[in-house]
Amino acid sequence: MLDTVERPKLRDVVAGRLKSYIVDANLKPGDRLPTEADLAKQFGVSRLSLREATKSLEFLGILESRPGRGLSVGRVDMDRVTEYLGFHPALQELSPRVLIDTRIVVEAGVLPHVARRMAADPALHERLDAINARLGRSRGLAEGIELDREFHHQLIAASGLTPFQAFGDLLATFFRRYGRHLDASAAVRGHRVIIDALKAGDVAAADREIRTHIEFYLTLPEAPE
């Protein structure tokens, strides 16, 4: 029996065309779009369908709508995007292998940027040091899980690559699923290796440790073979 092919919602199709329009027209934050009526006519959809699409883009900050001004390109609210991605129901269905591999790609990928910025701004490694010290003093699993998550969140943030912070918030999903396996002492030791390596500009050593640190979860019973 053939699987049913799910058709995309018209709202999502129109939202995609709006994003393409912004890119193709090289529009910048604050630039105005054509009127709602003109866009609906150009896309061959009703104004209601167009409005549903613009509302979804307004939620993410891609578009802004103001009385008397119409639609304009917004400034993306990364905090809102992060919250949306981190708690989207689809993330709860990802396999352990996908979650673990995604963490490795994201966290190992930002390390060169973290090392470069850390060399110019000592406050970055001091912030990671402080979180790791608190993890070492943590009492109880819940506190330890939150501090471990915060360390990795701040590690990604230290790269200065703002969009990665949104993807990094899948950490919330990861730690909700696997946090109960936390060994705080081992985590502190691993974090220390990462911090010291980045401070010394040894990205390769930091990369090896972050992979070892995350791949530990592949040894758990619920992880894939």
Each residue's pLDDT tens digit, 78-94 = 665 555 555 555 556 66
In tens, the pLDDT along 96-134 reads 788 788 888 889 999 999 999 999 999 999 999 999 999
Q: Dump pLDDT digits (tens) for 40-68.
A: 999 999 999 999 989 888 877 789 988 88
Kind and range of the H or E run holding 182: none
Tokens 């530990």 map to which residue? 216
Question: pTM score, two decimals?
Answer: 0.65
Q: What is the per-residue DSSP string for 1-64?
A: -PPPPPPPPHHHHHHHHHHHHHHHTT--TTPBPPPHHHHHHHHT--HHHHHHHHHHHHHTTSEE
User: Residues 139-163: pLDDT tens digits?
Assistant: 999 999 999 989 998 999 999 987 7
Confidence check: pLDDT of 188 > 90:
yes
Q: Which residues of 105-137 are buried (b: 16+ CB within 10 A; e: fewer)?
A: ebbbbbbebbbebbeeeeebbebbeebbebbbe
Quickly count: other Cβ atoms within 10 Å of residue 206's Cβ.
25
Mean pLDDT of the chain: 84
Residue 222 confidence (pLDDT): 59
Mean local confidence (pLDDT), 183-206 = 95
Which pair of structure tokens corresponds to residue 83? 């919250």
pLDDT digits (tens, 9 = 90+) for 65-80: 888 888 999 876 666 5
Given a contact cutoff of 8 angstroms between Cβ atoms, the answer to whether 168 and 153 are in contact is: yes
What domains are defined for the chain? 10-76 (1.10.10.10), 81-219 (1.20.120.530)
Which structure tokens are listed for 203? 């990205």
